[in-house]
Amino acid sequence: MEYSWNKPVLTLYRERKPMERDPFVVAKARELRVTESEEGRLNGRIVDFFELMGSVDCLTSKELASDRYIICWFDDNEEDQSRAARRLTGVTFLSRVKFTVDSKGKRTYNGDFKAEYGKLR
């Protein structure tokens, strides 16, 4: 089954003990795609995202890209906001997050990931 969200605002946390209370980055993406296989495996892609707060640079380094993350967002299509929270845990990026730089110096990032658990509905 494939899920897609347009223009989500994503909050990213490092998956650590004790749990982090503040995200290390808040980003806006053009699209978030997640595919759930019949075996329950979750793979996804964050398309054209940029920072609203914090820094994504740690995801572009080889050492820190191998960390585990939690990604949270709200589903704008859900009318009841108390049921709109979505989350992926155990997220690892399959390779370093790549970026392009436009003529004004703005970075736009793209990244593929896998996750261990997801609350997608």
pLDDT in tens, 35-58: 999 888 999 999 999 999 998 887
Residue 49 gets the label, from left (phi > 0), alpha (psi -120 to 50) or beta, of beta
pLDDT at 14 over 60: yes
Q: Give Rg (Cα) of the chain.
A: 14
Sequence-separated (6 or more) residues with CB below 8 Å from residue 118 = 34, 36, 42, 86, 87, 88, 89
Q: Where are the domains of the chain?
A: 2-119
pTM of the model: 0.88
Q: Provide the pLDDT for residue 63.
A: 64
Class of domain 2-119: mainly beta
pLDDT in tens, 94-119: 887 899 999 999 999 999 999 999 99
Residue 65's pLDDT band (cuts 50, 70, 90): low
